């Protein structure tokens, strides 16, 4: 297993809009070790979203290399990237992005349906139930998103990101739609997952939220401007239902 | 291999859930297909039934049956239809005596009247015929006997009842020997015919009273000419020969040259059946065209709804792609949805079509035959419509860019 989750060298992204070429990323180098908790900050227009799309294998760089968990993903086609997203990345979005009229546990099972693990229905269901338990939603498994609060919906999304045991969690403004108390709870879950060894990449423009990471990278004008280790702002574990010793998904199979 | 099979079953589940979430819309979408397939099933069933009953009629009457009608007569060079019949009973005798290929001849006059027996009465058609009638129509007398040559010659007031008439006028079953009054003329019932059932047009053939044509002409209709001659050739192979002989005899008797316009027309049973078969075929083609159009419209309905569905669920597609759905998965999901709608619609349509056929059979007394071929065919067409019209929306969904789809509001 490689010790680097992300290895990026000379990454550029150029959008051509007719005659005009927009340089969203102008040569980014970034290394992220296994088990890091890194926040990517930057104002809008800084290239932060472009970087997030490439990190999430939703888009391809124009130039440069990107190795995710030891695999060069910068030249993969659509379907190959879909496989990588499924196996290596757990997405958490600002607007939760759960399927409506679909129960929490079915939402969490979704990545397993598209995956290559060859699990049976029962195995998928069990893994989804475990993931929901890890984010403190035991007893809410059969609620639909409309029956859950914003914080609970985001927990379902985190459980969905966890269920395939990906190389990293990629959270894009995960607290953007939540009040500050709920935001704290969600950050606490990320911290406790990170404590158990999960690599977390957090995209945000709020310094308060970024303080919960161990390392903050600031992007400006398509380049990395700052890259510093920070003193992590720990969330008081009280009121958070995350189990004291989270169980990795493999252990439950 | 196992996992790919399983993944397909997973994706079909996803499609089924999407259909179940929008029950009303799914139903309305499938309605076009339901109606289209139902139409095809019912129409083909009716068409097959018509064909089958025509075959039955040919077999029942025998292929050696010929009808001779009075036809267009020529007056001062102008062809015109006339209500004055040109056929006489003497023509019938001449045909019987002079045509070796002819076995039996029955002059026929038709009338309609109210038949009264005691307190009961029944409106029916009166057929005045000759004694050969039962032989020509292969129609035996079930009870009593048919009238005799002597009855015809003396214009005796005797009648043979069809089963339906007998049942309605004499519910106790004792018709033979009783008296019925037709237009105030008392007739003695000498026999009751066998039950024959409906003919190819669904008319009850047993709803008839048969009497000597002489009696009907003299006592009931007042006609002096006969309406039609029913003829039986010696055998099926001699039908054409019999027609030629009849033609020659009638031309000679009516003083019409070999090139003049005949004042009579002939139809063999085969020609009648063919003509009716053609009509049935034309009708069937027409109805199948309508059904095909409605299937096509149903398909467009499916495409329309699937396109709306893809737009409406752009976000969902984005989520699925972000968490690892390949273009193929999304394509299959939407294609499966469309095909399921079409096939379920097809299934309901088949049931509806069979149901409609049975109702028509029961209430209109039309002979209906539902064939497995038509069921399989319309099912197949429905599935094809689903694939054909579902493909474009599904491909549109599969080609969405996950980044744009996730941002879609």
Q: Which of A18-27, B245-254, B266-275 has the lowest mean pLDDT?
A: B266-275
Å from A87 to nearest chain B CA?
Answer: 8
Smallest CA–CA distance from B330 into chain A, residue:
A114
Question: Average pLDDT of B364-371?
Answer: 75
Band (B29; pLDDT cuts 50, 70, 90) = confident
pLDDT in tens, A55-66: 999 999 999 999
Percent of the residues in chain A that have a pLDDT greater than 70, as a whole number = 92
Number of residues that make up chain B: 409
Q: Is pLDDT larger for residue B248 or for residue B48?
A: B248
Predicted confidence at residue B137, as pLDDT, reads 85
Cβ(B229)–Cβ(B92) below 8 Å: yes
Where are the domains positioned within chain B?
2-57+275-407, 72-262
Residue B205 has pLDDT above 50, yes or no: yes
**Are A114 and B325 a contacting pair at CB < 8 A?**
yes
CB contact under 8 A, B327 and A53: no
For the residues B359-372, what does the mean pLDDT come to? 79
Q: Which helix (H) or strand (E) holds B129?
A: strand B120-129
Q: Which helix (H) or strand (E) holds B150?
A: helix B149-153
Is residue B287 pLDDT above 80, yes or no? no
A166 at B interface, C-beta within 8 A: no
**Chain B CB within 8 Å of residue A160 CB:** yes
CB contact under 8 A, A78 and B326: yes
**Alpha-carbon span B73 to A246, nearest angstrom:** 106
Cα B160 to the center of its chain, rounded Å: 29
Using CB atoms, pick whichever of A83, A97, A98 lies closest to residue B406. Answer: A97
Q: Which chain A residue's Cα is nearest to B322?
A: A85
Q: How far apart are CA B370 and CA B34, in angstroms?
A: 17
**Which domains are delineated in chain A?**
34-47+91-252 (3.40.50.300)
pLDDT reported for residue A52: 93
A67-80 pLDDT, tens digit each: 999 999 998 999 99
H, E, C per residue of B254-315: CCCCCCCCCCEEEEEHHHHHHHHHHHHHHHHHHHHHHHHHHHHHHHHHHHHHHHHHHHHCHH
A·B CB contacts under 8 A:
64
For A160, the closest chain B residue by CA position comes to B323
Q: Which of B279-293, B377-391, B392-406 has the highest mean pLDDT?
A: B392-406
Judged by CB atoms closer than 8 Å, whether chains meet at A114 and B406 is answered as: no
By Cβ distance, the residue of A99, A100, A115 closest to B324 is: A115
CB contact under 8 A, B320 and A114: yes
* A173 contact residues in B (CB cutoff 8 A): none
- ipTM of the complex as predicted: 0.89
């Amino acid at each position: 297993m490689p010790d680097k989750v992300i290895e990026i060298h000379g990454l550029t992204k150029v959008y051509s809009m007719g005659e005009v070429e927009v340089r969203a990323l102008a040569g980014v180098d970034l290394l992220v070790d296994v088990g890091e908790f890194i926040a990517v900050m930057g104002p809008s227009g800084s290239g932060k979203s472009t970087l997030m799309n490439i990190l999430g294998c939703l888009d391809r760089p124009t130039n440069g290399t990107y190795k995710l968990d030891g695999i060069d993903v910068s030249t993969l086609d659509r379907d190959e990237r879909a496989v990588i997203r499924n196996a290596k990345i757990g997405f958490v979005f600002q607007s939760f992005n759960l399927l409506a009229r679909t129960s929490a546990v079915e939402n969490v099972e979704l990545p397993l349906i598209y995956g290559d693990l060859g699990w049976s229905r029962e195995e998928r269901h069990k893994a989804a139930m475990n993931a929901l338990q890890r984010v403190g939603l035991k007893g809410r498994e059969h609620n639909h998103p409309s029956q859950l609060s914003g914080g609970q919906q985001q927990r379902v999304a985190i459980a969905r990101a966890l269920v395939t045991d990906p190389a990293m969690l990629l959270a894009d403004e995960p607290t953007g739609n939540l009040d500050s108390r709920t935001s704290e709870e969600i950050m606490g879950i990320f911290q406790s997952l990170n404590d158990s060894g999960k690599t977390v990449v957090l995209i945000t423009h709020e310094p308060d939220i970024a303080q919960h990471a161990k390392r903050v990278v600031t992007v400006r004008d398509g380049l990395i401007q700052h890259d510093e280790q920070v003193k992590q702002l720990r969330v008081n574990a009280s009121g958070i239902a995350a189990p004291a010793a989270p169980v990795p998904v493999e252990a439950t199979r | 291999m196992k996992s790919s099979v399983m993944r397909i079953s997973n994706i079909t589940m996803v499609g089924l859930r999407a259909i179940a979430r929008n029950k009303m819309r799914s139903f309305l979408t499938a309605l076009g297909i339901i109606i289209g397939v139902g139409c095809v099933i019912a129409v083909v069933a009716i068409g097959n039934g018509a064909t089958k009953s025509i075959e039955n009629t040919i077999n029942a009457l025998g292929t050696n049956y010929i009808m001779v009608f009075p036809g267009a007569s020529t007056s001062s060079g102008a062809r015109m239809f006339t209500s004055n019949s040109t056929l006489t009973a003497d023509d019938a005798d001449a045909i019987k005596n002079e045509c070796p290929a002819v076995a039996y001849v029955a002059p026929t006059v038709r009338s309609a009247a109210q038949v009264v027996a005691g307190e009961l009465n029944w409106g029916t058609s009166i057929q005045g015929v000759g004694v050969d009638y039962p032989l020509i129509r292969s129609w035996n007398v079930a009870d009593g006997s048919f009238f005799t040559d002597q009855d015809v010659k003396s214009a005796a007031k005797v009648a043979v009842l069809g089963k339906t008439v007998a049942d309605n006028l004499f519910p106790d079953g004792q018709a033979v020997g009783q008296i019925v009054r037709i237009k105030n003329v008392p007739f003695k019932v000498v026999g009751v015919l066998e039950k024959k059932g409906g003919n190819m047009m669904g008319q009850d053939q047993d709803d008839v009273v048969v009497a000597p044509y002489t009696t009907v002409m003299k006592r009931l209709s007042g006609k002096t000419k006969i309406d039609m001659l029913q003829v039986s050739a010696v055998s099926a192979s001699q039908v054409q020969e019999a027609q030629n002989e009849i033609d020659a005899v009638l031309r000679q008797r009516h003083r019409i040259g070999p090139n003049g316009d005949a004042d009579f027309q002939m139809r063999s049973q085969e020609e009648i059946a063919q003509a009716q078969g053609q009509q049935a075929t034309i009708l069937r083609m027409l109805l199948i065209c309508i059904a095909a159009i409605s299937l096509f419209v149903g398909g467009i309905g499916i495409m329309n709804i699937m396109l709306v569905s893809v737009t409406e669920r752009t976000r969902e597609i984005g989520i699925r792609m972000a968490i690892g759905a390949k273009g193929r998965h999304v394509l299959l999901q939407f294609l499966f949805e469309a095909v399921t709608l079409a096939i379920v619609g097809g299934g309901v349509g088949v049931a509806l079509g069979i149901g409609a056929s049975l109702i028509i059979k029961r209430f209109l007394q039309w002979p209906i035959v539902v064939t497995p071929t038509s069921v399989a065919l319309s099912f197949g067409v429905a599935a094809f419509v689903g694939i054909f019209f579902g493909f474009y929306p599904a491909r549109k969904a599969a080609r969405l860019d996950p980044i744009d789809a996730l941002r879609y509001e």
